[in-house]
Chains A and B, each alone.
Chain A
Amino acid sequence: MNCQQEIQKLQKENRILQKKLERSEIDRIKLEETNRKKESLLKKVIDEVQASQNQLEQRTLELERTLMNLQVMQDKMSVLGGLVADVAHEINNPVGFIMGNITPAMEYIHDLLYLIELYQHFYPEPSPKIKEQIQVMDLDYVCEDLPKLITSMKEGTARISQLSSSLRTFARADTESKLPFNIHEGINSTLVILKHRLKANQNRPDIQVIKQYGDIPLIECFPGQLNQVFMNILANAIDALEESNHGLSFAEIEDKKNQIIIKTTLDSQNNTVVIYIKDNALGMSGVVQSKIFQHSFTTKPVGKGTGLGLSIAHQIIVQKHGGTLEVESFVGEGSEFAIAIPIY
């Protein structure tokens, strides 16, 4: 390489070095700024993570507390369920004595009344003391009323027996595994327990319950939990009907009729049993429908609804039984819940 070329080469290298120096200064400033931004960003994100961790800790504490309360409640409910079943069983025995004795008692009474009739026929003139007593006790009325009284007592004991049997069905303790269960029995027992809410009161006539039961097999399920779902949906339907009666007179409600239709069918294509519970109350808007199975969502006034009922019902059907719980509702027409439970 000659001297001229060597000079040119050195000049070029000098130009490059100068440019690189100039560029590296600009780049250094840029890089520092980029790093400052990264530092600020990461600090902020760490703060956010810290805040979110604190929130999570707080939430975990709240959840733990709620869980503990729920456990206490569950224990209490389980004890109460057992107690209800025991009491129902204990009531059944004395009711059994009464029911067992009431028929012979009726026969005896019938005989005694006949005997009195015979006495009156063959001894038309009793002693004044007996005459006085007949008058005081109004014997004719007693003879007429006593059989009615006994019939009413018989009906009363039959009702006590039905209620105690329903309470036993409803409150039966669930086992770890599923049991074959007659869904209709579950719905019927729930309706008996809700009878006081379905019957007429001073503001409205009876809520009619129309049962359209299909031919369905026994279902392997947790019966107590399913009854809880029926209770929840039926109680909500009664609430909705009562709300729909607001501002209407007794006669207007009678015309409109408060109605709950319960229909069961076997969907053999999907191998499921489907229970439809439909009311003719006011129905729900799309927004409400989309939220009703959400935890803590309620449309009821403060203190009246927890927003847990349908969320738990959904959990029971979907998670515990692998089924579906859906709702179809039209504003002004009413709502229909469809519970589908697979048959295994």
Chain B
Amino acid sequence: MLKIVVGHSNDPDSFAAVEEVIQQCTTSLIGNIPQAGILFTAIDFEHHLILQRIHQAFPGIELIGGTTDGEISSVLEFQQDSITLMLFCSDDIEIFAGVGEQVSTDPFTATKQAVEQAKAKTTKAPQLCLTHPESLTTSGVSILKGLKLALGEKFPIFGGLAADQSKYQQTYQFFQTQVLSDSVPILLFSGNVIFSHGIASGWFPIGKTSKVTKVEKNIVYEIDGKPALEFYRHYLGTLSPSIEYPLAVFAEDGVNFYLRAPIAHDETTGTITFFADIPEQATIQISEAGHQDILSAAHDSFMNAINNYPGKEPAGVLFFSCVARRQILGMQTQQEYQTTKNYLHHCLPACGFYSNGEIAPINSTGQTHFHNETFVTLILGSS
């Protein structure tokens, strides 16, 4: 049996907010003791204070989390400048946390360290991994590669990259009571956990097709033999490349594509850094999305997860949505969560955040991939 509870406060005062969240969770727990939790907070909070207070309230809890670009929950729905906490209780599911630091220096060692730390405490077979890693110091693909190496190529990994309300300066990750940067915290679920998921984006390629002619991992130097920045200048004029206008990178069939969003650019060299790697000679197109496309995709993602859920009663749901979706939706952002909640007979405990990159498998049996501009729904329960 898996019990999931959620607390959410939009009080800008750190102490008041964490107290409110703890109180909501305690009420919902009805005496159950949580084993683990995941915390999503806005950047402008006293994170140390919040983590310490949670550990005082729930001693021995395995806690991870990080900063975001907006928070979602079944309590307050979509909020900015809030904190939301999801807690897990179960007698037949083990949930343990691990962390790897200095991920930009050596992503493979850092991820291996995180997985080994969590596995060391586990007695049952690991089934699922949640993560909330750094987004600004290294490529999301490198982190995912490391996690896959440590957990297995087809091990299901879900999560979102930490964000900082689109300042792109510094993000924070949480592990137990520590506030870290350049790290990869994970939560490993072992035993009787069951789950299903759905992913969808809503972005479509537009404009002419081009070729990436010079690239090094996630730094694109040239497109069609010219500085990469010129490609964006052609479409956006003097405005900077940004996450809302990613590149559609086409597969060999020329029909299927995945998205890679820009994170930074260099005016002098004309290079653009993306959240994840792009292959050399890849065929690309700029892409964009409208409000309706984004909302329909969120709905599709949720419905896929619900329709594929292998059990009877889900215990809770996690959402990982892209910061670009929030930026384009503006005032309509709250509809992303609202579009999902109407399809349930009762209110399912839900928690999520707007991230700088999403992690989820493309289908239920396939390998985990790194995504941009995507809405990931993860439904959890026990068998």
Contacts and interface: CB of A to CB of B under 8 A. Distances in A.
Interface of A: 12, 15-16, 18-20, 23, 26-27, 30-31, 33-34, 36-38, 40-42, 44-45, 48
B11 A16 contact: yes
B197 to A, nearest CB: 28
B242 A41 contact: no
A20 B81 contact: yes
Contacts of B16: 12, 15
A15 B236 contact: no
Contact of A15 (B11, B239, B245, B288): B11
A44 B235 CA distance: 6
B373 interface: no
Interface in B199-234: 206-208, 234
| A interface: dominant SS | helix
A41 B288 contact: yes
Given A15-B13, A44-B207, A31 B235 contact: no
B254 interface: no
Given A19-B81, A45-B206, A45-B207, A12 B11 contact: yes
A40 B330 contact: no
Size category of the B interface is: 20 to 34
B229 to A, nearest CB: 14
B191 interface: no
Contacts of A37: 236, 239, 242, 244-245
Q: Which 8 A-B pairs have the closest CB atoms?
A: A19-B12, A31-B330, A41-B235, A40-B237, A15-B12, A44-B235, A19-B81, A45-B207
Contacts, number: 60
Interface of B: 10-13, 16, 80-81, 165-166, 206-208, 234-237, 239, 242, 244-245, 286, 288, 327-328, 330
Nearest to B13: A15
A38 B215 CA distance: 26
B235 to A, nearest CB: 5
Contact of B288 (A19, A36, A38, A48): A38
Contacts of A34: 242, 244, 327-328, 330
B226 to A, nearest CB: 16
Contacts of A44: 207, 234-235
A42 to B, nearest CB: 8
Contact of B235 (A12, A16, A26, A40): A40
A33 B330 contact: no
Nearest to B11: A12
Nearest to B244: A34
Contacts of B11: 12, 15-16
28 contacts: A12-B11, A12-B16, A15-B12, A15-B16, A16-B11, A16-B12, A18-B12, A19-B10, A19-B81, A20-B81, A27-B330, A31-B330, A34-B244, A34-B328, A37-B236, A37-B239, A37-B242, A38-B244, A40-B236, A40-B237, A40-B239, A41-B207, A41-B288, A42-B288, A44-B207, A45-B206, A45-B207, A45-B235
